[in-house]
Amino acid sequence: MNKKALSDVRVIDFGHVLAGPTAAMILADLGAEVIHIEPFSGDDSRHFGPFLKGHSAYFMSVNRNKKSLAVNLKKEAGKDIVERLLACSDVVIENFRPDVMEKLGLAYDEVKKINPGIIYASISGFGHDCLPEYKNRPSYDIIAQAYSGFMSITGTENGETVRAGSSIGDIIAGHQCAISILAALHYREQTGEGQRIDQAMVDGLVYTLENAIVRHSVSGETPVPLGTKHPSITPFQAFKTLDGRLVLPVGNNSLWKKFCSALDKEAWVDDERFATNEKRTSNREVLVSMIQEVLGGKTSEHWQTLFRDMGVPCGPVNPVPDVVSDKNLLYRKMIVEIEQQGAGKLTLAGSPFKMSKTPGEVRAPAPLLGENTRQVLSQVVGCTDEEIDSLIEQKVILAVK
């Protein structure tokens, strides 16, 4: 087995629910030792369904490859344990409101006194460096989607705007945070200096608006939901077939000619209304209607086979059951099964980081609450068995027997 890319990196994960844990899980997939700090009640997401034999599948899905240290930070002895851990770690990740870590005495300015080289990453709704009235404003993913403008361009055409089907604000923030951490680690290798990372969920989603901002700045238009349609390329959307739906991104004139040939509609190529992408987009409504009339007469499999033979991009709109049984995703280990202690077998998404020497990997299931408390205190902090037993008795730490 090749050495993991981040096998020499230790991460202290104060994250809860999704954004912070996602950033930490990315680093864990890439080999970092990630120690998830939890209160005695556990990460909030341990109480989110669905449940498998009493264990949260939600929590399991974003906390694999980690260790769990359950500690009472309201006690000085608990804070002392964490400070000793921070002194020998590389990265801190937290996604509380900006004032929470300050109240715990574990804000960046305090932690860098303990460990000047620490990479300290914070994820919040509107950022730590922001206007005063935004600093402690609570933010959930749905608020970030709405505030950023992301929700305003998501939904059916002429319909209600909608939240994306997953908590994309949290997930994007987690991924961008992980990228910043990797860059900061590289910078520290060059200079020896740690730094602070200030990741905002709203910032992350504004970054994903693609061409919506420039469309507005160039034309003055207000982008609105278009369903599956692309605002400036036609045809580029989902169509109904006899038994399902296919997406067809016909992105240039060469593909347009192949597409027309596949439909046995070569006359469309010479139709002045559809001569260029700009004209096809201007006449989108009539063109889409014409295409839909043809595609609706045969099955998705028929059209996929034909389009692929002709070199026309296409793809099915897969429901989740088809995703988890997809042979290529299974081959690429993007759908994996793990044995979760106390819960049994669980199917979840694999690691998307495919590299020839140091790929991401699902090595271990999510930990039970306090499962690694003894191990971490003994092997990392250097506590004796007697010290650990005393801390358990004082209710400073919680450890699985």
Residue whose pair of structure tokens reads 């608990």 in the numeric block: 78
Quick one: three-class SS letters along the chain? CCCCCCCCCEEEECCCCCHHHHHHHHHHHCCCEEEEEECCCCCHHHHCCCEECCEEHHHHHHCCCEEEEEECCCCHHHHHHHHHHHHCCCEEEECCCCCHHHHCCCCHHHHHHHCCCCEEEEEECCCCCCCHHHCCCCCCHHHHHHHCCCHHHCECCCCCECCCCCCHHHHHHHHHHHHHHHHHHHHHHHHCCCEEEEEEHHHHHHHCCCCHHHHHHHHCCCCCCCCCCCCCCCCEEEEECCCCEEEEECCCHHHHHHHHHHCCCCHHHHCHHHCCHHHHHHCHHHHHHHHHHHHCCCCHHHHHHHHHHHCCCCEECCCHHHHHCCHHHHHCCCEEEEEECCCEEEEEECCCCCCCCCCCCCCCCCCCCCCCHHHHHHHHHCCCHHHHHHHHHCCCEECCC
Q: Give the count of beta carbons closer than 10 Å to the beta carbon of residue 86.
A: 20
- CA-based nearest residue to 36, from 399, 389, 372, 379: 372
Between CA 89 and CA 136 the distance in angstroms is: 28
Is 195 within 8 Å of 187 (Cβ atoms)?
yes
Between CA 32 and CA 178 the distance in angstroms is: 12
Is residue 141 annotated as a catalytic residue, yes or no? Answer: no
Q: Give the count of beta carbons closer than 10 Å to the beta carbon of residue 149.
A: 19
Q: Which residue among the candidates 170, 243, 264, 271 is catalytic per the annotation?
A: 170
Could you give the residue numbers annotated as active site?
A: 170
